[in-house]
Structure formats: C-alpha cells, structure tokens
Structure 1
C-alpha cells in the first residue's frame, strides 16, 4: 500500500503538485493495532493534515474511521472491507475497497458454482472474521449450503483435519491471520491423505502476497481468494503496474493499486476544493477520477455507513499449481 501511495504522490509532485505546492505524505504505522490507529489519527489531526488515508486491516480501519469522524477529519480508507466501518452514517469517511458483504457474496457464488455446498470455516475471534462467517451463512443457507464454524481458539491445525473429516466438508475457508495459523493449517490439510479432495479457500486474500508463496511453495497454490483488480488493466493501470513492479522488485498486489488510487482521488479533490476539511468531506459525492483500476465515483450504498466506491472490480483468483507466481482468474463479479 505504501508503495502505491508513494508512487502516486511522486507523480503528482512531478507534475507540479497541487496549485504549485508539493503534496506531502506523512506516514504513521498503525502496526495492525486499533489503539495505535486512534493515536495516529489524533497526531495527524494536530499536525494539520488535510485528510488521512490508507489502512489495510478492517478492525484497525474501523478504529481510525471512528476517530476521524469524531474529529471532523476526512478519511479515505484504501483497503479495509468491513461493512460497518463506522457506527453511524458519516460524511467524513469514504472507501475504495468493496464492502465485505459484496466481495464475500461473490466468493460464495463461486463456491456454489464449483459444487461446494458443505463448507467449513476455520475462524479466529474478531469482528472481521465473525462478519465474514455471517455474510457466508446468510448467503449460502437459503441456497442449500451449510457453513460449519471451526473455532481456532480451541482447535489446532492438526485437529482441524479431524473436524473436516467428521463434518464431511468439501471446502475449508481460512478466516485466520497470516502467516499463522494460516500456513500451519494449509500444511496440515495438504499432508492429510483423508483430505486429498478438499478445496482450501481464503476469501480475505492472504495468498495474494509474495510471503504466502515463499512460506508454502506449491502447497499455497490452488487456494482461491478475493482480489480487487479488473480482468484487463487500462493503459494507466498497466503503467502503474510497471512502475510498482520496478519499485517493489516483484509483482504488485492489488493493495498497491488501492494505495495509488487513494492518492489519485485525494489529489483531484485537493485541486478542486482546496485543503479545507469540511469542503473535502463535502466533495465525495462529486468525485469522478480515473484510477488505475477504473473510474472512481462514490455514492451512498444501502447498509454501508460511509461514502463507497460502488463498486471496485472483484475477482476470485488462485495461484496456478504449475506456476505459483502466476494467477488464474476463476470468477468475476
């Protein structure tokens, strides 16, 4: 994400900045900690920033969004998908990533289309994972599916295998952190001959990242996950991909594109409406920006408390077993 943010800031400044002034990116690491996110928003507000942006982890983004709303500070959330990003509808927060209910329903459609109706979810305790289980269950149950929750607070990767056999599940979804316990669960399931036919999935996108492939090698392939890229990049998207690839020395994840698009939106808002926070927040409805992944516009969406890009492109992809560095598009929504 940071690489995408920095690339876009550099391009804005190479083109003359905002009204002749350079765009400055002030970075604070939330370290996946909601309390640190609140402290970072407080600090950035005191420093006089025009807006805050970024964040990948949904629970952390919710803390940041709530604080930004309370302070009257515009926040453009790059990557977090939790539907309830704020407790109440707010004018201060907008989001680029599709809401969890949309992305995970598309993933559920993929599961049904692939013939999976008895689905186990290995889930850790968090608002995000619980929301994911609820989305899957609400969507799959009326369509003949069954969702079996496996509590990773009490199970080990080895005992997960026994539960899968007993439950006769045909798919296991990893609603857990990476690298652990996700890597250990994959290794245990892959090595259990009783589970040779089970599909492993990871809707939250853990297999997107290069660390996944380095940790698991071939075991990490053929694990479908969600990512937010179009089937074919526009000329702008292709140029951004090439620049990010050079910067990162590897293929960029969709999160890097989210970072780039965040600055593309904010730069246009600042050009058009200046740095006044109230005017920035009032501008979400008028945004029309060509991002690296398509035309970005925000709207009010039923059940979503923030201004939402409705919708970023959604794919279900996996790593090709024959070439784990290559991604296969399995389903789009």
Structure 2
C-alpha cells in the first residue's frame, strides 16, 4: 500500500491515509472512505474563488467526519487545482473519475471550466455540483449536473429591481468576453424591458485587459444613468479605477462575481459607492434574527475565520453547501452514483450559506430571489441596501 496523501487533500483525510498505513486499508473506521472530488481555481487570477472553495470543502469534510461520517464511513476529499484553465479542469476531472474513483465532484469554480467538464460527467454518470454561476450550467437541465452558486438570472433581476426602485432607466453594459460575461450580458439584455430599462450602449473587454477607458468613454457618450460591469476579478476592479480616472459620476453596478474582500482590495478607493448583488454572507451581522440563514452564516463565518484567519466570502460557501447537500444525498446509497443523483434532486429546504435550497427535476440550482441582497461598498466594507 502506498502511504502518500494526494495534493490538496484535507488534513483529516491525509491523516486517515497515514493511519491506514498502520492499521490496514480501512484505517480506524473499519470501512473504506467515500471519495469526493474537488476541482477549483486554487491558484491563478481566479484564486479568490477557488482558494476559499478548497478550504471550505475541507472544513465541511472534517465536520462530517467528526459527526461520524456517512453511514459509518468517512469522507475523503481529493482536490485538484485547475488554475482557471478549462483544459486543466478536463484533465483533473478525468483523473478523479478514472484514477481516484470518486463518487461525485464539487466544482469547478468558473462557468467556462464547468462547461468544459459537463460532457464528461454526463457521459460517465458521475454527479457534479458546480460552484459557478452561468445559467447554462443548469438550463436546460442535465441529469448529473447541479450547482450551488446563485444564477446570473437572479443576480440581474436583483440589480434591475434596485434600479427600477431608484429611477434608473438608461444603462450601459460592459461585460467580459468569456462564458460568464456572455451569460450575464444575455440576461441583462433579456430582462431589461421587464423593468423599463433601456440599454443605451454595450461594450466588452477581454479577461486579461488592463485598461477599459475606451469602452467607458463610449458609454459616457450615451449619457447613461448607470453602467453595469459583468465579470470577475481583476477586470471589474480595473473598470472601477478607470471610472474614477475619467471622472465619471454615474452609478457603477457590478455582478455577484466580485462579492468578496478581494475586489475591495484590488479596487481600493475606487470601490467606494459601487453596488452589487451578493449572498447574505457579506452582511450576516445586519440580518434580523428571524432570517433562516443567520445562524448558519454566523457559525460558518466564525469557524472559517478561526481556521484560516479571515477572508470570508460567499464563494467558499458554494463548496461548503455542495458538500453538506452531498452528505445528505449519500446516506443510504452505499455509494451508488445513480442513487446519489436521485437524492440530490430531492434536496428540500436545505439552509445553506448561499441560500435555502430546494432541488427538483426541473431545477438543479434550487435557489429563489431571497438568495440575494443588494449591497453598496462604503468606507471599505459592505452596507445593506433597501
């Protein structure tokens, strides 16, 4: 037996591997572990997503094992880094399936990497719970693909409701030219008429672009009430800085793809006044005691901060929610992948970090409008908007 822990495996799982070297292949549990795969953008430009997802998956696994595992069997997380690259995501998923023999996979972190691996898991029928936002991940429904991140459909609706309430009628759009940006742009265009909003100018930027002043100048020429930037770091922070450099005074809305302390760090003073939809985790302390998520959020924030020293964001919650719902789905299945899939589809009323999940055969995301709130960045922190 090879006594070597895989990279990115949680410390508890790694300990279980080493103990297995001493007491036999089943370790101290007397049963083989249920192996769960994780594929996240742990390093690279999207590490602000993947790093907390990795840590949160490890945290969830440790919690589940501390409570006795699943039907008396431990859970082992086997986690690989995609670096945000679709090709590396495909390689990692193939390895998890063919070499590691995982029962299910959590991740990837991004819409493009998720879209790249979906055909694989559908073909071999291994349940996958993505941590990415693009609506095309779950619409149309694919039997073995689920996701925990709030969809851009809900994010756009949250932004537009706020705009409608505050009299914003003319907007410009600036979106990144990848699957996440295209999906968000499509929803912005599709939903605008419903809220009486006119899009006066559309512009786009590349994921690696470092200056968007040309696009913003074109948008300015149409005299909008606000601009919506749809992307993930670092691009949106560049947009924020460019707006300040150009002296633009119209409102800037961002997508939920930047709802983390990393965005404020990247944008600096230019983050002030920016509005965006986010899960409730960023304003957990401002929620009323009656909110069903408050207790779960408070506990998660405290434990994550204790373990990792801060940096809490909703992104880690995507993986944490996925693992805890997967734990529910695993019970009584004996590791049968088809039964796990069926049970995921029956998850109902699961109170998570991201929202309250109720999956169905028609909805493999399971979240409603109450999974989002609107926030504004003020004095370097998040303030809840009405």
TM-score (norm 2): 0.76
1:47-77 deviation per Cα after TM superposition (whole angstroms, max 9, x unaligned): 2101001222112112222321121111112
In structure 1, the partner of 2:309 is 249
CA distance in 2, matches of 1:87, 1:257: 22
1:215-252 deviation per Cα after TM superposition (whole angstroms, max 9, x unaligned): 22221122112222274543233111100122232241
Per the TM alignment, residue 254 of structure 1 is displaced from its structure 2 partner at its CA by 0.8
In structure 1, the partner of 2:56 is 4
Kindly report which structure 2 residues correspond to 1:108-257, keeping only aligned pairs within 5 A, or say none.
108-147=160-199, 148-152=201-205, 156-179=211-234, 181-193=235-247, 195=248, 197-206=249-258, 208-229=259-280, 231=287, 232=291, 233-257=293-317
Structure 1 gaps, min length 5: none
1:110-134 deviation per Cα after TM superposition (whole angstroms, max 9, x unaligned): 2222222211112232232122122
In structure 2, the partner of 1:33 is 85
1:236-287 deviation per Cα after TM superposition (whole angstroms, max 9, x unaligned): 3311110012223224101122221111111111123231111111212322
Q: Is the 8 A contact 1:129 1:175 kept in 2?
A: yes
Per the TM alignment, residue 308 of structure 1 is displaced from its structure 2 partner at its CA by 2.3
TM-score (norm 1): 0.87
Asked which structure has the greater RCO (Cα within 8 Å, sep 6+), the reply is: 1
Instruction: Give the count of matched residue pairs.
Output: 319
Q: 1:25 to 1:259 in 2, by over 3 A?
A: same
Per the TM alignment, residue 156 of structure 1 is displaced from its structure 2 partner at its CA by 4.4
CA distance in 2, matches of 1:125, 1:49: 33
1:27-49 deviation per Cα after TM superposition (whole angstroms, max 9, x unaligned): 01122122222221111111210
Q: 1:119 to 1:28 in 2, by over 3 A?
A: same
CA distance in 2, matches of 1:225, 1:9: 31
The two structures, once aligned, show a CA RMSD in angstroms of 2.3
SS of corresponding position for 2:227:
strand
Per the TM alignment, residue 143 of structure 1 is displaced from its structure 2 partner at its CA by 3.8
Q: 1:7 to 1:155 in 2, by over 3 A?
A: closer
Instruction: Determine if the alignment matches structure 1 residue 282 to structure 2 residue 333.
Output: no
In structure 2, the partner of 1:315 is 373
CA distance in 1, matches of 2:324, 2:194: 40
CA distance in 2, matches of 1:5, 1:156: 35
Per the TM alignment, residue 186 of structure 1 is displaced from its structure 2 partner at its CA by 1.4
Q: 2:357 aligns with which of 283, 289, 296?
A: 296
Kindly report which structure 2 residues correspond to 1:36-47, keeping only aligned pairs within 5 A, or say none.
36-46=88-98, 47=100
Q: Is the 8 A contact 2:86 2:112 kept in 1?
A: yes
CA distance in 1, matches of 2:78, 2:222: 50
CA distance in 1, matches of 2:82, 2:57: 16
Q: Is the 8 A contact 2:314 2:354 kept in 1?
A: no
Instruction: Determine if the alignment matches structure 1 residue 74 to structure 2 residue 131.
Output: no
Structure 2 gaps, min length 5: 1-52, 282-286
CA distance in 1, matches of 2:302, 2:210: 43
